[in-house]
Amino acid sequence: MRCFIDGSMAVISRSAPRSISSTSHQVMAQFFARGFAGAIKGWLSNDSMTKADLIDASVACAPAWWN
């Protein structure tokens, strides 16, 4: 699982929109690895992230048709 998270982080770091903060990248990687529960876990593990950061990162991971 760690390898998948690390790989996701590398891709996200290169291709995420600039509007997504770099602190949200870990949440996004966890989302890809573990789904929404993983995103929440990533958010809870970083005291500097806000609820808005979690929402922004989760929406960024959602398919285009979802919103």
Give the tens place of pLDDT for each residue, 7-24. Answer: 888 888 888 788 887 878
Please give the Cα distance from 2 to 12 (Å, whole number): 15
- Residue 49's SS3 state is coil
Query: Can you give the pLDDT at residue 23?
Result: 78
pLDDT at residue 52 greater than cutoff 80: yes
DSSP letter for 16, please: S
Domain that holds residue 39: 2-66
DSSP letter for 47, please: T
Residue keyed to tokens 């929406």: 59
pTM for this entry: 0.56
Query: Can you give the pLDDT at residue 48?
Result: 92
Give the tens place of pLDDT for each residue, 21-41. Answer: 787 888 888 887 888 788 888
Q: How many domains does one find in the chain? A: 1
Give me the mean pLDDT over the 57-62 stretch: 81
Put residue 35 in one of left, alpha, beta given phi > 0 → left and psi -120 to 50 → alpha.
left
